[in-house]
Every structure is written in C-alpha cells, then in structure tokens.
Amino acid sequence: MPLLQVKNLKTYYQTARGYVKAVDGVNFQIEEGEVFGLAGESGCGKTTVALSIIRLLPPGGRIIDGKIIFNDKNILTMSEEDIRKIRWKKIAIVFQGAMNALNPVIKVGDQIVEAITTHENVSKEDAWKRTEKLFEMVGIDPSRAKDYPHEFSGGMKQRVMIAMALACNPQLLIADEPATALDVIVQAQILKLMRELQRKMNLSMMLITHDLSIIAETCNKVAIMYAGKIVEYADTKRIFRDPQHPYTRGLINAFPSIRGPKRKLISIPGTPPDLLNPPSGCRFHPRCPYTNDKCKKIEPELKDIGERHYVACHMSW
C-alpha cells in the first residue's frame, strides 16, 4: 500500500472573475522511502498540490473533488483536529524561501523547541536535547542553537528549516523549491543533505521544483505538470531517457545536460495559459509543435504506455 495516494484532485481558487483551475484532476502516489518529484513551470499548480495535501490553502482556495489517502485515511474528510495531528508530525513541509520565515528575535534553537513542544508532549529540556541532535544531523554545530537567525547565512538558515521540518520525525517531507533562493554551490549542498537524510531516515519525500537537473539527481519517480494537469509520469530514468510528451521534451531541451554531450538549449515558445479560462482539448496545444484538430477539441487522457510510464498526448510516440 503506498504511503500517499492523490486521486483525481481538483483544487480551484475563487476570484472575482471566476474559478482559477489550479489543479484539475491530478493523480499520483508515493511509496514509503521514495523520492517523488513534481516538476513544471511556475504557476502550473505544483505548490497548490502540496498545500492541498496538508490542507493549508490560502483564502479563496477550495478542494472541489478527489481523495488524498495518507496511511489509508482520506485527509480530505478528516476533522480539523485530526489534520492538525498529522501536519508536522507525519507530514512536514519546507516552503520556498522558508528560511525567511524564522522569527528574527527568537534564538533558532528555541524556535525548534517550540515546534517540538507544540506537537508532542515532551519537556523543554528533552526538546532542547533533540534540537541539538537535529543540528548535528543537518551539519550545524549544536552550540549555534543559541544564536539568532541574523547570525546565519542563507544556506545555514535553510538547514535550520530542514531540522525544524524533521523535528517530529515525519513519514513524508514535502520540499517546495527548497534551494531556489540559494547560490548554486549552497543549493547543491542542501540537496545533498536532503538526500542523505532521506536515506538515513527512510523518509518519503515529495520534491517540488521547476529545475529538471534537481529531479534527475534526486528523485526515483517524476510527474510533469502543465496547466493544472499531469502530462507525463514515470520512473525518473525513463523520463530522461525516453520523454514522450512534447512539453517534457521541451523542458528537457531547455536545461543543460552536465554529463551528456554539449547541445543547444531551446526554450518552449509561448507562455502557460490563463487557468481562469484554459484552452480547449489539450491545454498544451497553443504551444505544441505537433498540434492538430483533435488536440484542439479532445482532452488527452493520461494513459499507461507500458512499464508504468503514463502520458497524456494523442500522439505519444
């Protein structure tokens, strides 16, 4: 039984002009100990999927349909009290730019102690001991737990946020663009740290990013999202070796390959659609070089083309 199953998830935002269909029928699952990547351009609905899983949508956001099964229970039908027991303790999240969320006037260690004592019935003394261990785990000298956020670099603050996310020993860690605001070298260190912790703790991880090179280095499985829908979903190696959807091919061509031969980078023409009024048929058709009449009228279903490789395209090759 997978740890998490997302089934036909639809999350819309109500606006004065109508519903923005940010997530529109998304399906995937994450096994125990697996690193699952959710990739796509900004605004494709990746973060909304994450916020739906922990039921922390911003005002105007509503889950219209679907199921989110975690440990055999549907998160979407749980009471507020039950979901609070899962959040942080079972499912933790590191948001994009989370390091800026540290309270500047409270010592970083105290902020982690507070997170632990809020969710678990432990003494402050024990929570402090756990905080020091967490600091060691994320590669920070435990004595630095007594310092304030302004005494840390961006990379160190992000390590603190990872320590905080892992403080209650969750089963699933969601990391939403965890290294985007950092320079490339620190970015690589943070991702390496996350991979090491994931293996050591046998954590399941959902990594959200627009950067396919991060997916290639980190994830076992990947789903490519476009305009609120998953357009391709498979084992990571398979997607990079044999991408089928024109959008996935476009994304791969737009990123440099570190190990492969030198090639010209080609960006995908056009821009993602307005999800208030998405295109008919295949949502990628205004940008796709292979569009035909069928693509404009009929929405392609996500179909298994073999070996659990799913593609939503009328012309999957």
Positions touching ligand SF4 (CB under 6 A) are 245-246, 282, 284-285, 288, 290-291, 295, 300, 313-315
Look at the chain and count its residues.
317
Q: How far is the CB of 285 from ligand SF4 (least distance, A)?
A: 4
**Closest CB to ligand SF4 among 33 and 279?**
279
Q: Which is nearer to ligand SF4, 61 or 300 (CB)?
A: 300
Q: Are 189 and 156 in contact (CB under 8 A)?
A: no
CB of 250 to ligand SF4, least distance (A): 10
Tokens describing residue 67: 């199921």
What is the closest distance, in whole angstroms, from the C-beta atom of residue 291 to ligand SF4 in the complex? 4
Q: Are 203 and 168 in contact (CB under 8 A)?
A: no
Among residues 173 and 222, whose Cβ is nearest to ligand SF4?
A: 222
Contact indicator for 208, 50 with CB cutoff of 8 Å: yes
Amino acid, single-letter form, for residue 175: A
Non-local CB neighbours of 261 within 8 Å, separated by 6+ positions? none
Which stretches of the chain are assigned E, i.e. beta strand? 4-15, 18-30, 35-39, 61-70, 73-74, 91-94, 172-176, 204-209, 221-226, 229-235, 303-304, 310-311
Shortest distance in whole angstroms from residue 300 CB to ligand SF4: 5
Find the shortest distance in angstroms from Cβ 35 to ligand SF4: 27
- Distance, in Å, from the CA atom of 156 to the CA atom of 208, rounded to the nearest integer, reads 21
Whichever of 44 and 295 has its CB closer to ligand SF4, that residue is: 295
Decide whether 142 or 278 has the Cβ nearer to ligand SF4. Answer: 278
Cα–Cα distance measured from residue 116 to residue 125, given in angstroms and rounded to the nearest whole number: 11
Q: Of 152 and 284, which has the nearer Cβ to ligand SF4?
A: 284
Minimum distance from residue 238 beta carbon to ligand SF4 (Å) = 18
Report which secondary-structure segment, H or E, holds 135. helix 124-137
Give the Å distances, CA to CA, from 250 to 16, 17, 311.
Answer: 34, 31, 15
**Smaller CB separation from ligand SF4, 32 or 304:** 304
Q: 37 to each of 23, 51, 177, how far by Cα in Å?
A: 16, 15, 11
Tokens at 294, concatenated: 């069928």
- Minimum distance of ligand SF4 from residue 40's CB (angstroms): 14
Measured between alpha carbons, how far is 11 from 160 in angstroms, rounded to an integer?
31
Output 99 or 311, the one with its CB closest to ligand SF4: 311
**Shortest distance, position 296 Cβ to ligand SF4, whole Å:** 8
Give me the amino acid identity at 115. Answer: A
**Residue 264 CB, nearest approach to ligand SF4 (Å):** 22
Query: Helix or strand or coil: residue 237?
Result: helix
In the bound state with ligand SF4, the residue whose beta carbon lies nearer, of 253 and 291, is 291
